[in-house]
Homo-oligomer: A and B are copies of this chain.
Amino acid sequence: MDRDPPRALLFDVFGTCVDWRSGVIREGEALARRLGLVGVDWGAIAGAWRGRYQPQLETVRSGARPWTTLDVLHREALDGVLAEAGLDAAAVPAAERDGLTLAWHRLDPWPDVVEGLARLRRRSIVAPCSNAHIALVVAMARRAGLVWDAVLGAELARAYKPQPEVYLRSAAALGLAPGDAMMVAAHPDDLAAAAACGLRTAFVPRPAEHGPRHAGDAPPDVPAVELVARDFHDLARLLGG
């Protein structure tokens, strides 16, 4: 890398740091065992649940509803997802749906993340810049053993990525100009939005994010991305740490 390491690394979380699909499947299968449900495709449910995410966020980004945490949005979406899978309120009662919603608090990091993040933190401030609210990120980090210097992102800005204020407010909260922060994500649209705000960018592909039958996101167009790293260890190496 020709440039100095960034003062701060800002991380997308779902998909980039943690494996949401496997975590939802794990908790769904545990629920199914508890309730005696058979033949449920929890991989499909995880995908459908995540698929409702961006349309939901758009209702907040458009101003149609006020800023709302992902716990509320996830819980609302779950009813539709389970109905589509043929699971009604008799099959999965409300209290179980409330519990399953918290699966998003209990996602496992990809194998490189705990150590890689600790390594990256030696040189740069590390903070999530996620659409997840603070309570979710804190619960996830404590369970997984992730150490963040601060929890930034959507709740601080009261906006949702890719709205510019999420990136800009996160850098500003660290006292940094946008160019002193680098967004790290597995999603080209996230990086493109960060780059448009003046942040530096690193793409870390997570080809297993959507399961074995999907390809991961392709590396984004070169102009939007400064670095492409295989994982967080590789990112540390590329940043000279």
Contact = CB atoms under 8 A, between A and B. Distances in A.
Interface of A: 71, 125, 133-135, 137-138, 141-142, 147-152, 155-156, 173-176
Contact of A138 (B125, B133, B138, B156): B125
Nearest to A105: B175
Contacts of A147: 147
A134 B150 contact: yes
Copy tally for this chain in the complex stands at 2
Nearest to A69: B175
9 contacts: A125-B138, A133-B173, A133-B175, A134-B152, A135-B174, A135-B176, A141-B149, A149-B151, A151-B151
Nearest to A155: B173
Central interface residue in A71, A138, A147, A155, by most chain B CB within 10 Å:
A138
A225 to B, nearest CB: 26
A133 B125 CA distance: 15
A138 B155 contact: no
A108 B198 CA distance: 34
A173 B134 contact: yes
B138 A174 contact: yes
Central interface residue in A147, A150, A175, by most chain B CB within 10 Å:
A150
Given A134-B173, A173-B134, A175-B71, A149 B156 contact: no
B138 A150 contact: yes
A148 to B, nearest CB: 8
A150 B142 CA distance: 11
Contacts of A175: 71, 133, 135
Nearest to A125: B138
Given A155-B173, A173-B155, A142 B149 contact: yes
Closest 10 CB pairs of A and B: A135-B175, A150-B151, A134-B173, A138-B149, A135-B174, A138-B150, A134-B150, A147-B147, A125-B138, A142-B149
A191 B152 CA distance: 27
A237 B141 CA distance: 25
Contacts of A150: 134, 137-138, 148, 150-151
Contacts of A151: 149-151
A153 to B, nearest CB: 11
A148 B141 CA distance: 11
